[in-house]
Structure 1
Amino acid sequence: MGMIQEFKEFAVKGNAMDLAVGVIIGGAFGKIVDSIVGDLIMPLVSRVVGKLDFSNLFFVLGDNPNNLTALADLKKAGIAVFAYGSFLTILVNFIILAFIIFMMVKQMNRMRKEEPAAPAEAPATPEDVLLLREIRDSLKK
């Protein structure tokens, strides 16, 4: 079988197509989450914290002889900085994304749950047992 034929079979299989659709939807969903975080959540958080831009949150770890205050300038000068602001933004994005995916999977699992099957009727009593019961009952008389 040629490589092109094998690729065609792989590409048209349901699993490969499902994966492709999932990747495309996941990329679009990531943009939605970024917008939710950047436009809705982070402004609320910044209201509490007092800053809107978390990307400039950092600690200077090395000597700062020129008293630079901008993160980009400090990095350009080669001064060691602990830049935690970008990490906070990415962490909030991840937590929100993970929570949304968890809720989606939870709802999908709830929809997939099948109703419990009705209890099966008791199997019919075998004929020999019925005959033995009749004999027992006739002996009791």
Structure 2
Amino acid sequence: MGMMQEFKAFAIKGNVVDLAVAVIIGGAFGKIVDSMVKDIIMPIVGKIFGGLDFSNYYLPLNGQPTGLPLAEAQAAGAVFAYGNFLTILLNFLILAFIIFQMVRLLNKAKKAEPPPEEKPAVTPEDIILLREIRDSLKK
């Protein structure tokens, strides 16, 4: 079997396709959560803690003035951008919590499914015929 045929057999397997779909959906879902954190949650948290945007919190390491936006301060030299880290950390925690809730719901759904009913075994036709013969002979 050639390498291309082996790769085709590997790539067509259900698990590989499922994994590819999961990665694509996960990437899109990550963007949704990122937007939710950046555009909805962080402004509220920033308002509670002084009305500032966390993503622009930094400590200058090369003597830059502290009033600059983060991008300008980074262009002027090294900065310790802890606000951006806090935003990304919160993003991760929310994403992890949502995934945990989804897995929890899936596990509950699996447990809630009733076990499949066991059907009585179908008696083969020749056994039925032999039983009829036996019953006829007894009479």
Q: What is the TM-score with the length of structure 1 in the denominator?
A: 0.70
For 1:38 and 1:93, locate their aligned partners in 2 and report how far apart those are by CA, in whole Å: 8
Long gaps (5+) in structure 1 = 118-141
CA gap of 1:114–1:9, structure 2 versus 1, over 3 A, is same
For 1:104 and 1:115, locate their aligned partners in 2 and report how far apart those are by CA, in whole Å: 17
**Contact 2:54 2:84 (8 Å CA) reproduced:** yes
For 1:68 and 1:98, locate their aligned partners in 2 and report how far apart those are by CA, in whole Å: 33
For 1:86 and 1:114, locate their aligned partners in 2 and report how far apart those are by CA, in whole Å: 42
Q: Count matched residues.
A: 114
Structure-1 residue corresponding to 2:67 = 69
Structure-2 residue corresponding to 1:86 = 84
For 1:37 and 1:73, locate their aligned partners in 2 and report how far apart those are by CA, in whole Å: 23
Structure-1 residue corresponding to 2:9 = 9
**Contact 1:58 1:85 (8 Å CA) reproduced:** yes
**Contact 1:42 1:52 (8 Å CA) reproduced:** no
Q: Helix, strand or coil: the match of 2:44? A: helix
**Contact 2:56 2:83 (8 Å CA) reproduced:** yes
Point out 4+ residue stretches in structure 1 off by more than 4 angstroms.
114-117
For 2:14 and 2:98, locate their aligned partners in 1 and report how far apart those are by CA, in whole Å: 26
Q: Helix, strand or coil: the match of 2:15? A: helix
Letter in 2 for 1:30: G
Query: Cα RMSD over matched residues?
Result: 2.2
Letter in 2 for 1:48: I
Matched, 1:60 2:65: no
CA deviation map 1:41-82 (0-9, x unaligned): 112111201234222101234545xx463133433333x432
Structure-2 residue corresponding to 1:113 = 111
Equivalent pairs: percent with the same residue? 63
Structure-2 residue corresponding to 1:45 = 45
CA gap of 1:47–1:69, structure 2 versus 1, over 3 A, is closer
Letter in 1 for 2:37: V
Letter in 1 for 2:67: T
Q: What is the TM-score with the length of structure 2 in the denominator?
A: 0.71
More contact order relative to length (CA 8 Å, sep ≥ 6): 1
